[in-house]
């Protein structure tokens, strides 16, 4: 994946309330990086509290990927 490029990061936050929320913190850091260092980077944040919310987030990401011609990248 050395030559891989990306322009969108999705964060699915299912961390219970009251616990250290690294997902929310990661989103905030990415917004800072986007503002100062990486132009064109898009971040998507989804709060996942139910299976329905997870299904909705995945559906949204799939629709965005298809409409924008994005190719999802996964590390195996």
> What is the model's pLDDT at position 76?
46
In a domain, 21, yes or no: yes
In a domain, 26, yes or no: yes
- What are the pLDDT digits (tens) for 13-70? 999 888 888 888 888 888 777 666 666 677 889 999 999 999 999 999 999 888 887 7
In a domain, 74, yes or no: no
In a domain, 75, yes or no: no
Range with lowest mean pLDDT among 3-7, 8-12, 18-22: 3-7
SS3 track for the chain? CCCCCCCEEEEEECCCCCCCCHHHHHHHHHHHHHHHCCCCCEEEEEECCCHHHHHHHHHHHHHHHHHHCCCCCCCC
Which position has the higher pLDDT, 2 or 30? 30
Determine the structural domain holding residue 27 and report its residue range: 8-68
Q: What total of structural domains would you count in the chain?
A: 1
> What is the model's pLDDT at position 38?
64
């Amino acid at each position: 994946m050395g030559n891989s490029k990306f322009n969108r990061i999705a964060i699915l936050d299912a961390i219970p309330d009251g616990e250290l929320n690294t997902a929310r913190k990661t989103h905030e850091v990415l917004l800072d990086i986007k503002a100062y260092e990486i132009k064109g980077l898009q971040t998507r944040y989804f709060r996942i509290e139910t299976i329905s919310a997870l299904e909705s987030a995945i559906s949204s990401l799939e629709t965005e990927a298809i409409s924008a011609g994005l190719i999802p990248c996964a590390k195996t």
